[in-house]
A and B are shown apart, each in its own frame.
Chain A
Amino acid sequence: MTAMDGQSGLEAQFAQWRQHVERRSELQRSDADELEDHLRGSVDELMAIGLRPDEAFLVAVKRMGSLNDLSREFAREHSERLWKQLVLTGGTDGPVVTARGRRDLLAVVVCAAGAAASVKVPELFGMSFERDGAFYATNLSLFTLPWLAAFLAWRRHASRALIGALVALFAVGAVAANAYSLAEDSQSVVLTGIHLPIALWLVVGLAYVADDLRSSRRRMDFIRFTGECFIYYVLIALGGGVLTAFVFGTFEAIGISPEGFVSRWLLPCGAAAAVVVAGWLVEAKQSVVENIAPVLTRLFTPLFTAVLLAFLAALGGSGTGINVEREALILFNLLLVVVLGLLLYSISARDPLAPPGLFDKLQFALVVSALVIDVLVLLEITGRITEYGTTPNKAAALGENVILLVNLAWSAWLVLGFVRRRTPFSAIERWQTGYLPVYAVWAWVVVLLFPPLFGFR
């Protein structure tokens, strides 16, 4: 071996060792630098007394002791490092990070302020929350989601073509919400109010996956983003509730009633801005805390499975059919959504290479029981519709049911294949991410085509 070989081999070993060190959350970059210097000092000394580079490296590493012991000692001194902190304006690691963090913060403030202001803009034209309920019900998502999409597109350096597509889609959404003059008590208003946010949320997804539109991994990231965003939003809403309570309590104590301020400013503006803030938090913290949605999934999958199986057993035992009212249909739709959510979020957190385990079997049981229940409901519904004719609500509910049914049925098949080790796990993931456009198309169909189709009822 030439001296040159020995030297480059040594550098490779140092690089490898560094990788191991930097993987430890207890050890920061500067610690790694310091320890590497120590190791190099040790190696130099050993080589000076005649050891070959690789021998010297081995002895030096051995002397330093195991990384486990080392990081335990570091953790004792730096216990705060185990609690990852959300650094809002970039870490102390480098000036580049800080500058980027600051620009992010500025962008999010602008977007959140924009969302908050958008909610109030219609009031300039004489609209009010009390009188124009239908207008706000259909337009609410148009006030906030474009800002979130703008923030994401800005962060991803989206291409001009994509930005054009985003603007066009939001414009179509605005037209759909306002071009048809729908009566405030019509079913179509409610349907648009529910489906437009879904359609627009998937447009936000388009901004989210801006860097790689077709990548299944990026779409899965968007699914994760959706779950975490929802959880953050709920948390922010809880905090907002506490703030509101204090606003009420303190101001009323001095004889000022803050009711008008709270209902006209604090609540609507806060709720709109919180959407952008939640999205930004998820973006900023990605690695800061464990993702919560998969944790909740783990907790609730067994419980939901138990409930569904118990329901099926009770249904079989009692012998009476399911009483399918309109509420029941919505309830069972929601049930499918929850089951799909449980499936999605456990997929999102699963190591694709891990072998199938008990949890996957449990999931299979969950999906199959949900499917059985749904088929029973569906049979009941189609009977009803053929008997009494259809309404927008029924058609929408039925369509959603079919979409979810198809998804879950094929998922069940794939999960079964996975449990029996026939199909790889990635097939399930690809199926779910590939299915996202179906939801988008359906939501747009309901928003755009249903009102004219059903005579604006």
Chain B
Amino acid sequence: MRVTKDLVAASATPMVLGILAEGESYGYAILRRINELSGGELDWTEGLLYPLLHRLERLGHVESSWQSVAGERRRKYYRITRSGLAELAEQRRQWDTVVGALKQVWRGSGEIRPFTAIPLEGPA
């Protein structure tokens, strides 16, 4: 099962902001983290990630800086800002609404699979 492109795109912003809320990070690590979280089901490309990071930076939700951590290459690190945290909270609220509504619909429409059977975490 692969998640459709539209859904990946729609969830892209909260995903990246959420990961950056865990701590500052750089492109490659963010992509790996997404892979890890979704068990490889979310098909993210560099063409999606980097322009998105640049857009978030332009909007002021993240800020970036080139840093060289000892023993490693110089990298562009991204850090979430205060406005990014606010945006994340807003996105979360919206996603909670959508997910909540979907859960109710699926529970009401004859229970194809009981909700509890849906694994919350992907196969790691």
A70 x B46 contact (CB < 8 A): yes
B26 x A65 contact (CB < 8 A): no
Interface size class, chain B: 20 to 34
Q: A7 to chain B: closest CB distance in Å?
A: 15
Is A121 interfacial (CB 8 A cutoff)? no
With beta carbons under 8 angstroms apart, the residue of A37, A65, A77 that contacts B28 is A37
Is A34 interfacial (CB 8 A cutoff)? yes
Q: B33 to chain A: closest CB distance in Å?
A: 12
Q: A14 to chain B: closest CB distance in Å?
A: 12
Interface SS of B by simple majority: helix
With beta carbons under 8 angstroms apart, the residue of A40, A64, A72, A78 that contacts B46 is A64
Residue of A nearest to B75 (CB): A37
Q: Which of chain B's residues have a CB closer than 8 A to the CB of A70?
A: 46-47
A40 x B50 contact (CB < 8 A): no
A40 x B55 contact (CB < 8 A): no
With beta carbons under 8 angstroms apart, the residue of B29, B46, B48 that contacts A35 is B46
In the complex, what distance in Å separates the CA atom of A34 from the CA atom of B74?
9
Is B27 interfacial (CB 8 A cutoff)? yes
Q: B45 to chain A: closest CB distance in Å?
A: 5
Is A76 interfacial (CB 8 A cutoff)? yes
Is B76 interfacial (CB 8 A cutoff)? yes
Is A73 interfacial (CB 8 A cutoff)? yes
Q: Which of chain B's residues have a CB closer than 8 A to the CB of A38?
A: 27-28, 31, 46, 50
Interface SS of A by simple majority: helix
Is A302 interfacial (CB 8 A cutoff)? no
With contacts A64-B46, A65-B47 taken as known, whether A37 is within 8 angstroms of B54 at the C-beta atoms is no
| Chain A residues bordering chain B, tally (CB within 8 A) | 20
Q: B54 to chain A: closest CB distance in Å?
A: 5
A77 x B75 contact (CB < 8 A): no
With beta carbons under 8 angstroms apart, the residue of B29, B31, B54 that contacts A78 is B54
In the complex, what distance in Å separates the CA atom of A76 from the CA atom of B51?
8
A73 x B51 contact (CB < 8 A): yes
With contacts A34-B76, A37-B73, A37-B75 taken as known, whether A74 is within 8 angstroms of B50 at the C-beta atoms is yes
Interface hits, A54-84 → B, CB 8 Å: 64-65, 69-70, 72-74, 76-78
Is A30 interfacial (CB 8 A cutoff)? yes
In the complex, what distance in Å separates the CA atom of A414 from the CA atom of B110?
85
With beta carbons under 8 angstroms apart, the residue of A35, A41, A42 that contacts B50 is A35
Is A33 interfacial (CB 8 A cutoff)? yes
Residue of B nearest to A26 (CB): B51
Residue of B nearest to A40 (CB): B73
B47 x A37 contact (CB < 8 A): no
Q: A258 to chain B: closest CB distance in Å?
A: 45
Is A31 interfacial (CB 8 A cutoff)? yes
Q: Which of chain A's residues have a CB closer than 8 A to the CB of B51?
A: 73-74, 76-78
Q: Which of chain A's residues have a CB closer than 8 A to the CB of B45?
A: 64-65, 69
A42 x B47 contact (CB < 8 A): no
In the complex, what distance in Å separates the CA atom of A42 from the CA atom of B58?
27
Interface hits, B39-86 → A, CB 8 Å: 45-48, 50-52, 54-55, 58, 66, 73-76
In the complex, what distance in Å separates the CA atom of A74 from the CA atom of B52?
9
A34 x B73 contact (CB < 8 A): no
In the complex, what distance in Å separates the CA atom of A65 from the CA atom of B51?
14
Residue of B nearest to A69 (CB): B47
Q: Which of chain A's residues have a CB closer than 8 A to the CB of B46?
A: 35, 38, 64-65, 70
In the complex, what distance in Å separates the CA atom of A413 from the CA atom of B24?
68
B55 x A77 contact (CB < 8 A): yes
With contacts A30-B76, A65-B45, A77-B55 taken as known, whether A37 is within 8 angstroms of B50 at the C-beta atoms is no
Q: Which of chain B's residues have a CB closer than 8 A to the CB of A34?
A: 27, 50, 76
Per-position binary interface string of chain A over residues 67-110, scored 1 when its CB falls under 8 Å from any chain B CB and 0 otherwise = 00110111011100000000000000000000000000000000
Residue of B nearest to A71 (CB): B47
Q: Across the A-B interface, give the 6 residue pairs with the lowest CB-CB distance, nearest first.
A: A41-B28, A73-B47, A77-B51, A70-B47, A38-B28, A73-B51
- Given contacts A35-B46, A37-B75, list 8 more A-B pairs with CB under 8 A: A33-B66, A33-B76, A37-B74, A42-B28, A69-B45, A73-B50, A76-B51, A78-B51
8 A-B residue pairs with CB within 8 Å: A37-B28, A41-B28, A65-B45, A65-B46, A73-B48, A76-B51, A77-B51, A77-B52
